Structure 1
Amino acid sequence: MNDDELEDALRRAAAIMDPVPSHLLQSATEAYVLRTLDAELAALTFDSVTEPSPVRAGEGARLLTFEAGGTTIEVELTFAGDVGALVGQIMPPQAAEVEVEGGAEGWGERLVLYADPLGRFAWDRLRRGPVSLRVRLGDGVVATEWITA
């Protein structure tokens, strides 16, 4: 038995012998939802899948634009099989922390990227599926709508 199999067996035993009370699961779920209340929701204002792009994108590239207040987040997604790349730009340009949620190893996984002073950020191991970005700026947090990568 390897470490992963042992961990899985112990997890199953704990679930049978000492299950998490349902009210505690409900409270945890509600607390998790509240963590995003401080973020301003950025609306999807352009998606190259649904609208023709005035700019020619690479083969299979998807261009997205999100806007909230005075902040614009432009994103390009490209895939080769199930793994893709995400390249983004924050306008006006500024350094920021960019949290990618859902496009990491599995659902609920989060990855933190850092935009440079010109507002540029990138990641080359994006997984297909639901993805949302949370951008921590100097004056607040902007969260994008969920999209399917």
Structure 2
Amino acid sequence: MNDDELMSGVREAFETLDPVPADVLAAARASIAWRAPHATLAELAHERPGRTAAGVRGAAARTLTFACPGSGIETVEIEVAEHGRHREITGRLVPSSPALVEVRHRDLPPDGITARAEPAGLFCVPRVPQGLVSLVFRLDDGSSIVTSWIRL
């Protein structure tokens, strides 16, 4: 028995005894379409849980700050407000810069929800499904920034 035959037998055993769930395979295949190999990773640096001010109506909004070392953007600040099953993400790029904002979520196609950050760096993305989300910012200079995954 050679190595290829041995690995084939191991693969068949795992497929029979402990198959990979279909949704895990679908998420893995979709993640390939989400690759942005030259993008700068913006990692979560600070999170403030949602609080509603006294006398103010509406749901509390969570505030998150992502640090972007090595890019022209120092931080990405977002605020997440709940609206039933959906979330609304508002935010800004610091320093300000125009950009295309893309939302990555397993239930959305690769080119799913997009919005435009205006020259002041402000953006709003309504009706984002709850769950794991990552944002991609495609700056007008051709560079990209990708946030780490967060649960909304």
Shared fold (TM-score, shorter chain, > 0.5): yes
Structure of larger gyration radius: 2
Gaps in structure 2 of 5+ consecutive residues:
1-24
Determine the structure 2 residue equivalent to 1:17.
none
TM superposition outliers: structure 1 runs of 4+ over 3 Å: 28-31, 56-59
Determine the structure 2 residue equivalent to 1:68.
68
Determine the structure 2 residue equivalent to 1:87.
90
Q: Does the CA contact (< 8 Å) of 2:102 and 2:114 recur in 1? A: yes
What is the count of residue pairs matched by the alignment? Answer: 117
After TM superposition, the structure 1 = structure 2 runs for residues 9-20 of structure 1, keeping only pairs within 5 Å, are none
What's the offset of the Cα at 1:131? 0.6
| TM value normalised by structure 1 | 0.67
* 3-state SS of paired residue (1:32): helix
Gaps in structure 1 of 5+ consecutive residues:
1-24
* Residue identity (%): 32
Q: Does 1:122 align with 2:103?
A: no
Determine the structure 2 residue equivalent to 1:48.
48
What's the offset of the Cα at 1:88? 1.0
Q: Does 1:143 align with 2:143?
A: no
> How large is the RMSD of aligned CA atoms in angstroms?
3.0
